[in-house]
Structure 1
């Protein structure tokens, strides 16, 4: 599998800059900023963001199955149920660890993108080309989707456990599972809102 294209580097230090003219500088600036914006907010990044969230939820789902089987069993000790719980938890850990690492790596990449965008933006002004970077559609999509994830997480945290927990339905394991689902939704929603707000701040800076 081919490796992903690396991020555009930051602009060279002032003493090493060798652009032949202003137009060459602005062209490189526009290219770097467009690439960094796409890597942070583009359609592929959004799809990867959602797939990672689903992978984290899948891993937690397997682990939650083990929690429910372990803590919500009211019958006598069942060896088969315990085997299921252990296997389910092991599968969950195997899926969850690389998924969480992918989320952490994505957050780090986003931070580098923001830092380099700020560095390239500080080089000069180019209102015509910057209009493409200031395009609000990307940040609005991220903001709306992230707000929906946070709202869904809030609903899952407070409403869903009451629907599935009771004397004859579920107990501590079920509550823990749904709290984990809500936490995953909240964390991803906050990540998306941070990206949208950072892009908004950049757009304001470029337009001022």
Structure 2
């Protein structure tokens, strides 16, 4: 995976904050929140999630193909080919799964930082750019479609009798691909709803906190 951009630090404690005035605080707040929102729900993050999901799906496709090979294998050479395909599939699935788990932990840190920095003050003019309704809607719709397709592959296809009752390898292949799609789609849905909830709670719904600076004197409290 490519090297990730380091996340901004949390805001400093009240007793050591050194912004000269409220405008400086709002400027830093807007810059940090912009970075965090892009790291969380930008279109590039959605494409990256789907990329790792596709790698995992490719790995499962190889594993399912190997199982089908084992079912139809009647010689040592075919069995050896199946083992090689399984190894290739595992080599795709394991790194993709590890990266997705690391990404989920990073998203949790991002949401904590969003709450911390967003709670410093209110700035409606700058906050409007942080809502990103288009990107959030794209996450929601595309993730929902992927979830629906994954659930259909996991349950409706096997239950509908589309797979031969003896084709266990094919059933594992289809259900594994469906499960992969469902998990990736679910991650996307959670991120879309989390961003929307943050917008409503921090940017729109919550009352403005008590100002850190007294009006007119520019002195830090």
Secondary structure of the residue that 1:137 maps to in structure 2? helix
Distance 1:107 1:92 in 2: 23
Deviations 1:110-135 (A, max 9, x none): 11111100110111111111111123
Distance 2:183 2:2 in 1: 30
Shift of 1:164: 5.2
Partner of 2:121: 124
TM-score (norm 1): 0.91
Match of 1:183 among 154, 179, 184: 179
Partner of 2:213: none
Distance 1:181 1:163 in 2: 17
Match of 1:156 among 147, 153, 157: 153
Residue 66 of structure 2 contacts residue 85 of structure 2 at CA under 8 Å; is this kept in 1? yes
Shift of 1:44: 1.8
Distance 1:163 1:128 in 2: 56
| 1:110 equivalenced with 2:107 (yes/no) | yes
Partner of 2:25: 25
Shift of 1:3: 3.9
Shift of 1:4: 3.2
Partner of 2:5: 5
Residue 46 of structure 2 contacts residue 188 of structure 2 at CA under 8 Å; is this kept in 1? no
Partner of 1:196: 192
Shift of 1:159: 3.9
Partner of 1:144: 141
TM-score (norm 2): 0.86
Distance 1:100 1:88 in 2: 18
Residue 164 of structure 1 contacts residue 174 of structure 1 at CA under 8 Å; is this kept in 2? no
Q: CA RMSD in A?
A: 1.8
Partner of 1:165: 163
**Unpaired segments of 5 or more residues in structure 2?**
206-221
Partner of 1:47: 47
